[in-house]
Structure 1
Amino acid sequence: MSTGRVVAAVHLYRGPERPLVVKFGGTSLATPQRMRRAAARVAAYAREGRNVVVVVSAMGHRTDRILRWVRDVCDGAPPAAIARDVDRAVATGEELSAGLMAAALGAMGVRAAALRGGEAGVRVVGEFGAGRIREVNPRRLRALLAEGVVPVIAGFQGERDDCELVTLERGGSDITAVAVAAALGCAPCHVVTDVDAVYAADPRVDPGAERFTDLTHGQMLALAEAGAHVLHAGAARLAHTLNVPLRVYSFRAPLRRPGGTRVGCMAADGVVADGVAEGV
C-alpha cells in the first residue's frame, strides 16, 4: 500500500471536526441480536451529535462459508481464470453486513447508507484476492456526513482504476477502517472485536496473559506482527505510519466506558463518560 497516496487523501477532509470511525469485526455482527447491539452503539454516538463512519466485516465465519461454496460449485479449488468471479462472491459477505447494519440503523431512526468499498472512495491496485489500498477519496463520505447520514462501508474491498471490484487479503477490513480514518483527517478509529482489550497472548489460551490499557503504535505493531490477532498487522502498520489513534474493545463493552486498549493517544475520540469526552 502506498501510504503517500493515503496521506495525500488526508488533506482532502475539510469537515468541522474529525468523525469517529467504528469498525465491527465479524464476531460482533454474527447474529441479528449482535447486529442490533452494534447498531445501537452507533446510534447512540449519532444522537449525541457525533459524525460516525462505520466499517464492517462479514458476519462471523461468512467468508469461510462463501469460500466453501465456491470450492463446491467448482468441484475443487477454483482456477485462476475465475478469480474475478470469486472476488465478486466473497465480497458479498461484507456487503451483506453493510446492508443489514444500515437497515438496523434506519429502524432505530438513524439515517444510514450502505456503501461498497469503491462507492466509499476506496481505490485499490493489485490482482483479484490480493488488492492493496492505493488511496481513499473521502468526498462521498464527507457529503453523506454533511447530510446527517451515517456511511456504512463494506470492508475488505475496493475498486481498481478499471472499475473492477477487488478484495484485499483476509482481515483486510481492519486496513479499510484505518485507511478511511486516515483519509478523514487521522480520525480516531475504534476496533470492536470479541476480546475486551489487547493482550500479550490470546487470553482464551493463556488466562494469565498481560492485558494492556495503553500502547504506542510501535508496540501495537510489534504485537500484531508477532501474531496477536486482535488487529491485522497491515492495519497496525498503517496506523503507525499515519499516526491514526485506535481504541480496541469488546462488542460487549458498555457504551459510556468501553475501556479496552488505547493505541497512540491523541485528541478526544468521542467516548463520553459522565458527560466528559475521554481520550483515545
Structure 2
Amino acid sequence: METIVLKFGGTSVGSTDRISAVADLIKTACNEASPVVVVSAMSGETNRLIDLAKSFGTEPNKREFDALVSTGEQVSASLVSIALNQLGLKAKSLSAAQFGMKTTSNFSRAKILDLDKDVILKTIEDGYIPIITGFQGVNNDGDTTTMGRGGSDTTAVAIAAAIKSKRCDIYTDVDGIYTTDPRIVPNAKKLDLISMEEMLELAGQGAKVMQIRAVEFANKYKVLVRVLSSFEPGSGTLILQEEEGMEDAVITGIASQKDQTKFTLHGVVDTPGIASGILSPVSDSGIEVDVIVQNVSVSGKTDFTFTVGNADRAEVESVLTKKMQGISYDELIIDEGIGKVSLVGVGMRSHAGIASTAFNTLADAGINIQMISTSEIKITIVISGDQLEEAVKTLHSAFKLGD
C-alpha cells in the first residue's frame, strides 16, 4: 500500500473556507496514493492559548501549559475530518495518544521516541483517511507534551519515515523555498530543488519554512520532502537527499535570524574543561546553543561567547549565574541586539573566496562583523540586529541570487 503524508500549517487551516480548500487537496491526493494528513492548529490559535496561559503569570506550570496549547491541533483535525466526510470521503481524527506518539518529558521541547505505525496503517486499511494532530506527543506518564514551534513538521516527517511513505508534502503559505526571505528581498528566487544538507543548514540558521528537527528526521530516515503552497497551484521545492547536478550554484540561499542573544563571559580563568563547564548546564536545560567562540588566552584568562534564541535568554542567564560550578569570570555581558546572517551552498566545497567576498561586501556596506562560524557549506556571521536586513539584501545582490 503506497502512502503519501500531507502536512498543513496553521494558515492553511486558518478558517472554514481554508479547511474546505484543504479537503479538496486531500481528495486530489487520493488519486496518487493513500493520504495520511497531519495538521497544525488554526493560525493564531496557539498564540491565543499561550496568552490565556500567561494571564495568570509569565511562567505557567509546564505540564498544564502543554496540555492547553495542544488542544488547537485537535480542533483542526476534527474540522478537517468533518469537511472530508461532507465530500463523501471517510476520515478519522487521531490524537497523539491514539496513535502512540511517545516523546520525552521535556514539556514544550519534547522529542519523539516512538510511534505506533500499525494504528495509522489499520485506519487506512479500514477505509479511513487518518487526520493526525501535529506538534504533540505523550510521555511515559501519559501526560501530553508539545514539540515547540513548527513541531507539526516533525510529526509529519516522523510518520512518513515510520510508514515508509513515497513523499512528505509540507503545505504552507509560501510556494516553496527561496534564496532568501522574499519579504526582505522582493526578487528572491524560488528554488525547484535543494539538497537535504543545504536545507539542514538553512533551517538551522533561521529559514522558517521548515522546523530544523523535521529536516534532521528527513535526512536521517531518507524521507523525500516537498514544500509547496496550499493557496495556489505549483510544484513547490523538492528537498533531495543527494546533490548531483547542484554543484554549479556556489551559494544556494541566505538565512537570517534577528531574535538572538549573545552571552560573553569576560575574563574566564583559562583551564581545561572551560567550554564543557559553561555549556553543559545550558544543554542540560534543553537549550540549543549556536555560534560559539573562545578567544586566545591572555595572562591565563579568556573570553567565552555564544548565542541563543531570545526566548531562552532569561533561562540561560539563570543557568549561568546559579548552576555553573567551579568557573570564575570577571563579568557576564549580555547583548540582545544581535542578528545572524548565514550563506549556505554545497558549491562552497569547490569554490574558494566565498568568505572574503562576503566580508568585503559587508565592509563596503559599513556593517561590522562581531562573530564568524563556518562549516563546509555554511558561513554564519553575527552582526548588529538593526543592520540585518541590509546585510541580507547586500549579500543576496553580491552573489547574484535574484531572479
Query: Is TM (by shorter chain) over 0.5?
Result: yes
Deviation per CA, 1:228-274: give whole Å up to 9, x if none.
111111111111111100110111233xxx311011279xxxxxxxx
| 1:42/1:52 contact within 8 Å kept | yes
Judge which range, 208-217 or 51-60, deviates more: 208-217
Mapping 1:71-110, distance limit 5 Å: 71-72=54-55, 74=56, 76-79=57-60, 82-110=61-89
Q: How does 1:39-78 map to 2 (within 5 A)?
A: 39-46=23-30, 48=31, 50-72=33-55, 74=56, 76-78=57-59
SS of residue in 2 equivalent to 1:29: coil
Summarize deviations over 1:145-197 as a string: whole Å, max 9, x none. 11120000110001112211111111111100000000011541000001111
Indicate if the aligned counterparts of 1:132 and 1:168 stay in contact, CA closer than 8 A: yes
Where structure 2 has 5 or more consecutive residues not aligned to the other structure, the ranges are: 243-403
Match of 2:147 in 1: 168
The answer as to 2:238 corresponding to 1:262 is yes
CA contact (8 A) 2:5 2:165 kept: no
1:196 aligns with 2:179: no
How far apart are the structure 2 equivalents of 1:253 and 1:83? 38
Question: CA offset at residue 100 of structure 1?
Answer: 0.6
How far the C-alpha of 1:208 sits from its partner, in A, is 1.6
Query: CA shift at 1:123, angstroms?
Result: 1.0
The whole-number CA distance in structure 1 between the counterparts of 2:29 and 2:220 is 28
- Cα drift, residue 129 of structure 1: 1.6
Q: Tell me, which stretches of 5 or more residues in structure 1 are unaligned?
A: 1-15, 267-280
**2: CA distance, partners of 1:135 / 1:207:** 42
Kindly indicate whether residue 134 of structure 2 is the aligned counterpart of residue 152 of structure 1.
no
Q: Work out the CA distance in 2 between the residues paired with 1:150 and 1:125.
A: 28
Alignment partner for residue 197 of structure 2, among 218, 226, 241? 218
Q: How many residues align?
A: 242
Distance 2:40 2:218 in 1: 18
Q: Do 1:83 and 1:129's aligned partners in 2 also have CA atoms closer than 8 Å?
A: yes
Q: For residues 265 and 37 of structure 1, do their structure 2 counterparts lie closer, same or farther at Cα, with a shift above 3 Å needed? A: farther
Give, in angstroms, the shift of residue 49 of structure 1: 6.4
| Conserved? CA contact 2:100–2:115, under 8 Å | yes
Q: Is the 8 A contact 2:153 2:211 kept in 1?
A: yes
Distance in 2, Cα, partners of 1:123 & 1:218: 27
Equivalent residue in structure 1 for 2:108, among 129, 133, 148: 129
CA contact (8 A) 2:196 2:241 kept: no
Cα distance, 1:242–1:186 mapped onto 2, change above 3 Å: farther
CA contact (8 A) 1:199 1:210 kept: yes
In structure 1, the residue matched to 2:121 is 142
Partner of 2:4: 20
2:59 partner letter = P
For the pair shown, the structure with the greater C-alpha radius of gyration is 2
Secondary structure of residue in 2 paired with 1:118: coil
What is the rounded CA distance, in whole Å, between the counterparts of 1:141 and 1:100 in structure 2?
19
Q: Work out the CA distance in 2 between the residues paired with 1:187 and 1:163.
A: 32
Q: Distance in 2 between matches of 1:120 and 1:153?
A: 9
4+ long deviations beyond 4 Å: none
What residue is the counterpart of 1:9 in the other structure? none
Q: Which has the higher contact order (CA 8 A, sep 6+)?
A: 1
How far apart are 1:50 and its partner, in Å? 2.3
Q: Does 1:247 align with 2:226?
A: yes
TM-score, normalised by the number of residues in structure 2: 0.58
The letter for the 2-side match of 1:171 is G
1:207 lines up with 2:191 in the alignment: no
Which among 202, 211, 215 is matched to residue 236 of structure 1?
215
Q: Residue in 1 aligned with 2:278? A: none
Q: Given that residues 186 and 242 in structure 1 are in contact (C-alpha distance below 8 angstroms), is that contact kept between their aligned partners in structure 2?
A: no
The offset of 1:209, in angstroms, is: 1.5
Mapped partners of 1:253, 1:148: distance in 2: 29
Q: Report the identity percentage.
A: 36
